[in-house]
Structure 1
Amino acid sequence: MSQSDLEARIIELETRISHLDMAMNDMSMMIKRQWDRIDVLERRNHLLSEDMKRMNSYMNTAPEDDVPPPHY
């Protein structure tokens, strides 16, 4: 292998490494954004679940005067 062949191969490998490094950084940023979004959705889900529990509790503790008259 000649010196110019070795230099061309090194340049090709460095170019590939550079592209792989950029792709890895892009994927890493995408994964971080997805985890951030998942965290937000989990918090919203928890809040909605708590709201549903409170609503259910409220509906089950209706005052006695809300009972329909016996003729219904």
Structure 2
Amino acid sequence: MTDTDLETRIIELETRISHLDQAMTDMSMMVKRQWDRIDVLERRNHLLGEDMKRMNDFMQTAPEDDVPPPHY
């Protein structure tokens, strides 16, 4: 194997490593953004669940409005 062949192979390997490193960085950033989005959605889901519980409690404790006045 000549020096130029070896040098060519090293350059090709370094190029591949560089591309793989960039792909790994891109995927890492993508995963981070997805986790951030999941956190936001989980918080919203929790808040919506709390709102639904409060509305349900309110609906169950407000039947006095449906009772006719005593003069009926």
Give TM-score scaled by structure 1 length: 0.90
Q: Give RMSD over aligned pairs.
A: 1.4
SS at match of 2:43: helix
1:36 maps to 2:44: no
Provide, for residues 47-68 of structure 1, a one-character-per-residue CA deviation record: whole Å limited to 9, x for no partner.
0000000000000001424235
Sequence identity of aligned pairs in percent?
A: 84
The list of structure 1 runs, each at least 4 consecutive aligned residues, that deviate by more than 4 angstroms after superposition, is: none
Distance 2:55 2:2 in 1: 79
Question: What are structure 1's unaligned runs of at least 5 residues?
Answer: none
Superposed CA deviations along residues 18-42 of structure 1, whole A, max 9, x for unmatched, are 0000000000000000000000000
Stretches of structure 2 lacking an aligned partner (at least 5 in a row): none
The normalised TM-score by structure 2 is 0.90
1:17 aligns with 2:11: no
The residue number in structure 1 matching 2:56 is 56
Q: In the alignment, residue 33 of structure 2 is paired with which amino acid? A: R
